[in-house]
Amino acid sequence: MKLLLDFLPLVLFFATFKLTEGQPDAAAAFATEHLGFLVSGGVVGKTEAPVLLATLVVMAATLIQALITKLRGKKIDLMLWISLALVVVLGGATIWFHNATFIKWKPTLLYWAGALAFLLSELLFGKNLLKAMLKDLPLPEGVWKRLNWAWVLFFALLGVANLYVAYHYSDGAWANFKVFGVTGLIVLFTLAQGLYLSRHVIETEPAAGEGEPR
């Protein structure tokens, strides 16, 4: 259920964008008629309509995600609060100013917030977030530190990659990268970390017969 909720805003954003991208005139007419009061000037052009409608959907989806989490009695984690704040502020700016640049910055700021969380928790509080999340894994402290720094670097670079695609390619290419490119990179990075972890977990496991009653 949590996995579904985590991917809900992303999936709905992509689905809305792709649906409206193929019908820009209809999307612009719909947005102008029903959502004109939300945009400066009251008229939505066909070039910006797909992103604006997708942005509105992702704002609603992220809010629903937070509400469902709360209604289920679960704690809303910090990253979801940050995501909600960013999507409301930047999404609102995107809609009002007819400018997709604002919402395109949202993933980068979220990735950089993740990088800062891993970095500052280690430097300021001496707490390794990755170790806290995977506390059952017996790993040397040096390995935990390297893994933590790897996530800091990965999130920082992911934010840069998002901006590069956002500023050098079309809205459609950026949407594809946001869904498939970023997801693929995260999966590959996680698999690489899993392989790295497996080597050290095996090394720290007790040897066969060790600890058995004599």
pLDDT-based confidence at 16, cuts 50/70/90? very high
Residues 152 and 192 in one domain: yes
Please check whether residue 55 is in contact with residue 33, taking contact to mean a CB–CB distance below 8 angstroms: no
Q: Is there a domain that residue 66 lies in? A: yes
Assigned domain for 212 exists: no
Q: How far apart are CA 132 and CA 194, in angstroms?
A: 16
Residue with structure tokens 């992702």?
A: 58
pLDDT per residue as tens digits for the range 18-53: 999 999 999 999 999 998 899 999 999 999 999 999
Residue type, 13: F
Is 91 found in the same domain as 126? no
DSSP, residue by residue, 55-84: HHHHHHHHHHHHHHHHHTTPPPPHHHHHHH
Domain boundary, last residue among 54, 83, 99: 99
Specify the pTM: 0.84
Using N-to-C axis directions, what is the helix angle for 101-125 and 78-97, rounded to 10°?
150
Both 19 and 91 in one domain: the answer is: yes
Residue at a domain's end among 99, 123, 148: 99
- Asked if residue 211 belongs to a domain, the reply is no
Contact 8, 60 (CB under 8 A): no
Domain of 110, in residue numbers:
100-206
